[in-house]
Amino acid sequence: MRKLIYFVIAGFLMLMPDMAWAGAYEQLLSISGGGAPNVPDVPEPTPVEPDNYSNSNSNSYSNYQQPSYNYADPAEQQRREERRRQRQKARERRAREARDRREDREWEEEKKERNEYEAKRQIVLKQLPPKWQLKSSARKNPAAGKVPPLSGLSSMTSMQKQIDALQKKSGLNAQQQAELASLDRRMLDLWAQPVSADDTPERVRRVIRLPLGFADSKDVARLDQEKLRALLQSPSDSPAAEAVSDLLPVRNGVVNFAGDHLQNIIAAAPAEVFEVATDAEMGALMKDGVALAKVTLAFRDASQGIAALADFVVGRIAVPQAAIAEAGRKIYTNIAFESLNNFMDKASSAVGATHDRPAFWQEIKDESNTGQRAFLEWMGAK
Amino acid sequence: MKRMLFAIVLMLAFFSVAAQATDIMPETTLLLPMAEGVNARWIIPPASDNFAARYRDMRMSFTVDTDGHAWLGFADGSVLCPQKEYSFKLPETFWDFVCLDNGVMLFATTSRLALLDVVAGQNGQQPTVSLQPVAMLPPDCIRMFKGADNCLYFICGKENGENSVWLFKPQAYRGDRGLPEFQKIFESEAPVNAVAGDGVITWVAIGRLVIKIDEQKRVQRYYQHPHQVIVDLEYSLTGGLFYSTPFAAGYLGKNGALEMLNARGPDIACQGSSLYLLFSRDYGLMAVDGISQLPQYDQPLAGIKKVRAVKYDQ
From the centroid of its chain, how far is CA B124?
A: 40
pLDDT band, residue A63 (cuts 50/70/90): low
- Judged against a pLDDT cut of 80, whether residue A295 lies above it is answered with yes
Residue range A284-301: mean pLDDT, rounded: 85
pLDDT interval class at A357 (50, 70, 90)? low
Q: Which of A199, A254, A260 is most worth mutating to test chain B (most B CB atoms within 10 A of its CB)?
A: A254
Higher confidence at residue A33 or residue B263?
B263
B217 domain residue, yes or no: no
Asked, for residue B63, whether it belongs to a domain, the answer is yes
pTM of the model: 0.70
Residue B248: list chain A partners with CB under 8 A: 255-256
> Does a structural domain hold residue B123?
yes
Nearest CA in chain B to A230: B221
Q: What is the ipTM of this complex?
A: 0.85
**Of the ranges A90-99, A118-127, A232-241, B231-240, which one carries the lowest mean pLDDT score?**
A232-241
Residues in B closer than 8 angstroms to A236, CB to CB, are 221, 223-224
Q: Assess if residue B131 is contained within a domain.
A: yes
Across chain A, what does the average pLDDT equal? 70
User: Does the residue B132 lie in any domain?
Assistant: yes
Are residues B303 and A202, on separate chains, in Cβ contact within 8 Å? no
pLDDT of residue A157: 75
Burial of A153 (0-12, 13-18, 19+ CB in 10 A): buried
B302 contacts on A by Cβ (under 8 Å): 243-244, 297-300, 306
Question: Mean pLDDT across the stretch A63-68?
Answer: 55
CB A280 within 8 A of CB B287: no
**Within 13 Å, how many C-alpha atoms sit on residue B40's CB side?**
31
Q: Provide, as residue numbers in chain A, all residues whose Cβ is less than 8 Å from the Cβ of B301.
A: 240, 243-244, 250, 253-254, 297-300
Give the pLDDT score at B77: 86
CB contacts of A372 in chain B (<8 Å) are: 115, 117, 132
Distance from the A112 Cα atom to the nearest Cα atom in chain B, whole angstroms:
48
Are B257 and A255 in contact (CB < 8 Å)?
A: yes
Q: Are B72 and B283 in contact (CB under 8 A)?
A: yes
pLDDT at B200: 95
Contacts of A259 in chain B (CB under 8 A): 29, 262
What is the structure's pLDDT at A166? Answer: 80
Residue B86, in any domain of the structure: yes
Contact A37, A30 (CB under 8 A): no
First to last CA, chain B: 36
- Determine whether the interchain pair B225/A279 forms a contact, defined as Cβ–Cβ distance below 8 Å: no
Q: How far apart are CA B206 and CA B203, in angstroms?
A: 10
Q: How confident is the model at residue A54 (pLDDT cuts 50, 70, 90)?
A: very low
Domain span at B124: 59-137
Walking along chain B (314 residues) 10 residues at a time, the average pLDDT comes out as: 51 43 79 91 83 84 93 88 82 91 92 85 74 89 94 89 92 82 93 95 95 92 89 94 94 89 93 93 91 90 86 64
**pLDDT of A31 above 70:** no
Give the mean model confidence (pLDDT) for residues A123-142: 55
DSSP assignment letter at B246 = T
pLDDT winner (highest mean) among A81-95, A121-135, A158-172? A81-95
Which pLDDT does position B185 carry in this prediction? 94
Mean pLDDT across the stretch A183-197? 75
User: Average pLDDT in the A323-352 region?
Assistant: 51
Tens digits of per-residue pLDDT, B9-61? 444 444 444 444 457 888 899 999 999 889 999 888 888 777 788 888 889 99
A197-206, A261-270, B74-83: range with lowest mean pLDDT: A197-206
- Cβ-nearest to B221 among A236, A292, A379: A236
A217-240 tens-digit pLDDT = 778 888 888 888 888 876 654 444
Of A68 and B127, the structure prediction assigns the larger pLDDT to B127
Per-residue pLDDT band for A250 (boundaries 50, 70, 90) equals low
Residue B259: closest C-alpha in chain A = A255
Q: Which residue has the higher pLDDT, A374 or A170?
A: A374
Average pLDDT estimate for A274-280: 87
Q: Is residue B49 part of a domain?
A: no
Min distance B1 CA to chain A CA atoms (Å): 32
What pLDDT is attached to residue A152? 56
> A82 pLDDT exceeds 80?
yes
Residue A180 has pLDDT above 60, yes or no: yes
How far, in Å, CA of A66 to CA of B50, rounded?
110
Q: What does DSSP assign to residue A271?
A: T
Residue B103's contacts (CB-CB under 8 Å, 6 or more residues apart) are: A370, A371, A374, B65, B66
**Cα A166-A172-A175 angle, rounded to 5 deg:** 90
- Please count the structural domains in chain B: 1
Q: What is the pLDDT of residue B155?
A: 95
- pLDDT for A100: 92
Q: What is the least distance, in Å, from the CA of B14 to any CA of chain A?
A: 15
Pairwise CB contact (< 8 Å): B220 & A297: no
Q: Which residues contact B88 (CB under 8 A, 6 or more apart)?
A: A340, A341, A364, B78, B79, B80, B129
Predicted confidence (pLDDT) at residue A320 exceeds the cutoff of 70: yes
pLDDT computed for residue A57 by the predictor:
44
pLDDT-derived band at A200 (thresholds 50, 70, 90) equals: confident
A294 contacts B115? CB cut-off 8 A? no
Residue type, position A301, single letter? D
Which residues contact residue B254 at a Cβ distance below 8 angstroms, ignoring those fewer than 6 apart?
A238, A240, B222, B298
**What is the reported pLDDT for B232?**
96
Question: Given this model, what pLDDT does residue A50 score?
Answer: 46
The segment with the largest mean pLDDT, out of A170-179, A249-258, B4-13, is A170-179
In whole angstroms, what is the distance from residue B3 CA to residue B45 CA? 39
Distance of CA A9 to the CA centre of its chain: 73
- Tell me if B217 and A219 make a contact (CB, 8 A cut-off): yes
CB B177 within 8 A of CB A184: yes
Query: What pLDDT, on a 0 to 100 scale, did the predictor assign at position B80?
Result: 85
Q: Please report which confidence band the pLDDT of residue A130 belongs to, taking 50, 70 and 90 as the band edges.
A: low
Residue among A270, A324, A358 at smallest CA distance from B43: A324
So what's the pLDDT on residue B118?
79
Substitution target in B83, B307, B311, B312 with the highest count of A β-carbons within 10 Å is: B307
Instruction: Inform me whether the pLDDT recorded for A292 exceeds 50.
Output: yes
